[in-house]
Amino acid sequence: MKKKLVKILNKKFNYPITCLTAYSPSIAKILDGNVDIVLIGDSLGTTLYGMKNSQSVTLNMMKIHGLAVTNNVNKSITVIDMPYKTYENKLQALKNAKTLLNFTKAKMIKLEINRSNLPIVKYLSSKNLNVVAHIGVTPQSFVNFKKIKAVGRTKKESQNLIKLALNAEKAGAKAILLECITEETAKKITSSISLPTIGIGSSKYCDGQVLVFDDLIKIDKKQHYPKFVKNYLNFDELASNAVKKFCTDVRQKKFPSKKYSYQ
């Protein structure tokens, strides 16, 4: 696994990095070995628990779902999010990061960062923790996700993001996740640092891409999906049709037949 981690984090990795989220054993099994990285994201708050944002996700939630996933991942690298307000200072961050990593056995920890919490990245890295720095749009800072807009459009925003990425690299981060950063700025960041960049809504000019698995398969047709989400499967429709067939079979006394009954 260590060799796999080193290979993925090498900028010369010979093909783009793939990453999807998982919060349960069944999805973890599907992703394991098919994607390079499985992310146990705090997006589970909105995806699984129906929260309006990720600010109510707790450390315990991440521990429970993290362990459920890592127990079923043997080939891919696992990354786990540190939830909102669990890394506000160095000591708190170290304690909570170790708790998460030791309990779940995830290989890397991800933090949403800005200029003010760069010292935390440096501190965790100095303690030999593998840190992924999340820059650009940082969802934990939003109460209302509808207010999220792409960043990096202005010269100042672009320069600040490039500087932040460079400083995160100097602080010891092992990879940078770019969220909702404009194409031109994402391209500049990727070419400016020696770390791999993984994009979500940040163009093809990143070294890899991540999406929320539930968005990928369109599990909820009523949900509003961001521009950057591509649906590869209409699971909502497939599941609805399966439910309708089940109900029809039950009502017509076709299920359970002898095949599905004990004699």
Question: Residues 123-148: pLDDT tens digits?
Answer: 999 999 999 999 999 999 999 998 99
Q: Which residues are catalytic?
A: 179
Distance (Å, whole) CA 32 – CA 57: 25
Distance (Å, whole) CA 243 – CA 224: 23
**Per-residue pLDDT, 202:** 98
pLDDT of residue 2 exceeding 80: no
3-class state of residue 163 by DSSP: helix
pLDDT tens, residue by residue, 148-197: 999 999 999 999 999 999 999 999 999 999 999 999 999 999 999 999 99
Q: What would the mean pLDDT of 218-223 be, rounded to a whole number?
A: 91
**Per-residue pLDDT, 25:** 98
The chain-wide mean pLDDT, for the chain, equals: 96
Query: What whole-number percentage of the chain has pLDDT above 70?
Result: 98
pLDDT of residue 118 exceeding 90: yes
Give exposure, 20-47, as e/b (b: 16+ Cβ within 10 Å): bbbbebebbebbbeebbbbbbbbbbbbb
**Per-residue pLDDT, 256:** 98
What are residue 134's DSSP bridge partners?
112, 177
Distance (Å, whole) CA 233 – CA 235: 6
Strands (E), the chain: 17-21, 37-40, 77-81, 108-112, 131-136, 175-179, 197-200, 208-211
**Per-residue pLDDT, 70:** 98
Strands (E), 11-92: 17-21, 37-40, 77-81
Lowest mean pLDDT: which of 24-28, 121-125, 220-224? 220-224
pLDDT tens, residue by residue, 10-23: 765 668 999 999 99
Distance (Å, whole) CA 155 – CA 159: 6
The answer to whether residues 171 and 121 touch, using CB atoms and an 8 Å cutoff, is yes
pLDDT of residue 213 exceeding 90: yes
Count other Cβ atoms within 10 Å, centred on residue 96.
19
